Amino acid sequence: MGAVTGVVILGGGPGGYEAALVAAQLGATVTIVDSDGLGGSAVLTDCVPSKTLIATSDLMTEMRESAELGVRFRGDDADLEPSDAVGVDLARVNERVLDLASAQSSDIARKIEREGVTLLRGKGRLDGSQAVLVDLADGGSERVEADVVLLATGAHPRVMETAQPDGERILTWEQVYDLEHLPERLIVVGSGVTGAEFASAYDALGADVVLVSSRDRVLPGEDADAAEVIEDVFKRRGMTVLSRSRAESVSREGDEVRVRLTDGQEVTGSHCLLAVGSLPNTGDLGLDTAGVDTDERGFIKVDRVSRTSARGVYAAGDCTGVLMLASVAAMQGRIAMWHALGDAVQPLDLKRVSSNVFTSPEIATVGWSQQAVDAGEIDAQAVMLPLAGNPRAKMQGVHDGFVKLFCRPGTGIVVGGVVVGPRASELVHPISLAVAARLTADQMAHAFTVYPSMSGSVAEAARRLHQAPGPA
Ligand SMILES: Cc1cc2nc3c(=O)[nH]c(=O)nc-3n(C[C@H](O)[C@H](O)[C@H](O)COP(=O)(O)OP(=O)(O)OC[C@H]3O[C@@H](n4cnc5c(N)ncnc54)[C@H](O)[C@@H]3O)c2cc1C
């Protein structure tokens, strides 16, 4: 390897562009090859658009539920109940979503350029482990030599053979932002994080939503207590949740979509959103030319410092399937560069990742889970405190949600937590800090919280985990 290391990155999503910034900082010559726009799916079709849509749906939820706080909207004749008075202009919402996504993509492009990273627009593939072939978007091709290659090509929505999206009424989550009008009756197939988030959002925007869930309850991968709260709220708000119902096919007849379930039932609606998982973009990456191994589903196998089976070739983000989050993709990308370029590096620790389900209310999680505690993978004490007893929650008319904390018996070190409530994504941070810094429940309990505040419940949960000193 020469004095300056040449790094080539395939994919300009968070896995790719965050790695590029680290590599540039460490003095490497960096080239990013990207086919669809910097920021990747995270910025252009997934996280950023969905969370921007949810910013509007959250506001709608607050307004609809504001009657309890005494709010009335002035109509022509009589004051209107907020729930009857608010509506949404979906074309305007979607225009804002797409503008914001494209502006963020441009911001990232500028930042990358400022750091001296070369951007090649086009599709790349490996040509052995030390070169990449690029089919340029403007035509022609280029071969770029590399000392280090990072694969960060992301994933795409899985579609079923019997449920082909048409971009008009049968949609993947990438296609919903072209809608000009709110679907009258939206059938969401899949009740994982993506399905639940969109079901929650469109319900709040005013669509009649049917959520088709193949499992006993929605959000099967999440904390069971949290998922129960969300399912209760969904049903209370009028959503139809079809549990233990697997979609067999989705078809369209005129303006109607039909979802046929495996038990023979049929559900009809005006639109259908398919949220049945993601597949890695690894099919045509020339992985075999470099000896990069994948699992049986096509995800690239990596270790905790993002190394693949091929020397000098690293991989990060959704194409590895390690944990499909933008924050994890970014960290895997940075770790890859720290490792490849000889900087100090800590292997990826999934037990410190905090994540959020942006339903209304939200579910935020960090560290060890209830499932792991129940399965005996870790010995931990748990406490769960409903938010309904919190003074701020009462003032704000918040009735659903809780704080749950896990700590080690004996030492009292906090190892995980779950928060369900409005803006749980913000409330989970003190727990995340405690997990990262190995704080004890007592140390958390002794920090001041504002009165009144939702975070008061985090401190109170920590106080309840206090272990009285044993007899002298
Ligand atoms: C609806 C939805 C909402 C989400 N919300 C959140 C959220 O709120 N928070 C969160 O943390 N995560 C969220 N995620 C997950 C998050 O979007 C992904 O984990 C993240 O995008 C992964 O980043 P990445 O860099 O691996 O890939 P991507 O963001 O997919 O970027 C990869 C890029 O590489 C390009 N590419 C592919 N092949 C090639 C090639 N051969 N050559 C050049 N370029 C190529 C792709 O076109 C793409 O632009 C969400 C996912 C979905 C589906």
Give the C-alpha separation, 409 to 296, whole Å: 40
Each residue's pLDDT tens digit, 192-237: 999 999 999 999 999 999 999 999 999 999 999 999 999 999 999 9
Rounded mean pLDDT of the chain? 96
- Please name the helix (run of DSSP H) or strand (run of DSSP E) that holds residue 403, with its range, or none: strand 402-407
In a 3-state reduction of DSSP, which class is residue 384? strand
Residue 126 pairs with which residues in a beta bridge? 132
What is the structure's pLDDT at 1? 45
Strands (DSSP E) contained in 22-168 are 29-34, 73-74, 79-80, 118-126, 131-136, 141-145, 148-151, 155-157
pLDDT at 77 over 70: no
pLDDT at 83 over 50: yes
Long-range contacts of 421-424 (CB under 8 A, 24+ apart): 421/361, 421/362, 421/387, 421/393, 421/454, 422/58, 422/360, 422/361, 422/362, 422/396, 422/398, 422/454, 423/362, 423/454, 424/356, 424/361, 424/362, 424/363, 424/364
**Residue in this structure with the two tokens 């019997």, named with its chain if needed:** 162
Each residue's pLDDT tens digit, 237-284: 999 999 999 999 999 999 999 999 999 999 999 999 999 999 999 999
Give the C-alpha separation, 421 to 387, whole Å: 8
Q: Which atom of ligand 1 is nearest to the CA of 355?
A: 11
Q: How far apart are the CA of 171 and the centre of ligand 1, in A?
A: 18
Each residue's pLDDT tens digit, 322-367: 999 999 999 999 999 999 999 999 999 999 999 999 999 999 999 9
Instruction: Please choose from 8, 18, 38, 46 the residue to mutate so as to test ligand 1's pocket, defined by most ligand atoms within 8 A of CB.
Output: 46
- How big is the chain by its Cα radius of gyration, in Å? 24
325 lines ligand 1 (CB under 6 A): yes
Q: Which amino acid is at 290?
A: A
Residue 259 pairs with which residues in a beta bridge? 250, 267
Q: How far apart are the CA of 131 and the centre of ligand 1, in A?
A: 23
pLDDT band per the 50, 70, 90 thresholds, residue 471: low
What is the structure's pLDDT at 287? 98
Quote the distance between the C-alpha of residue 336 and its chain's center: 21
Decide: 462 and 442 in contact? Cβ < 8 Å.
Answer: yes
pTM of model > 0.95:
yes
Encoded tokens for 330: 């970014």
104 lines ligand 1 (CB under 6 A): no
Each residue's pLDDT tens digit, 138-176: 999 999 999 999 999 999 999 999 999 999 999 999 999
34 lines ligand 1 (CB under 6 A): yes
What is the structure's pLDDT at 334? 98
Give the C-alpha separation, 209 to 188, whole Å: 7
Instruction: Please choose from 318, 354, 362 the residue to mutate so as to test ligand 1's pocket, defined by most ligand atoms within 8 A of CB.
Output: 318
Closest C-alpha residue for ligand 1 atom 38: 153
Q: How far apart are the CA of 10 and the centre of ligand 1, in A?
A: 12
Instruction: Please choose from 21, 38, 43, 47 the residue to mutate so as to test ligand 1's pocket, defined by most ligand atoms within 8 A of CB.
Output: 47
Each residue's pLDDT tens digit, 108-120: 999 999 999 999 9
What is the structure's pLDDT at 470? 67
Each residue's pLDDT tens digit, 352-409: 999 999 999 999 999 999 999 999 999 999 999 999 999 999 999 999 999 999 999 9
pLDDT band per the 50, 70, 90 thresholds, residue 76: low
Q: How far apart are the CA of 321 and the centre of ligand 1, in A?
A: 11
**Residue in this structure with the two tokens 């049903």, named with its chain if needed:** 235
326 lines ligand 1 (CB under 6 A): yes
322 lines ligand 1 (CB under 6 A): no
Strands (DSSP E) contained in 247-334 are 247-253, 256-261, 266-269, 271-274, 278-280, 313-315
Decide: 274 and 189 in contact? Cβ < 8 Å.
Answer: yes
pLDDT at 464 over 60: yes
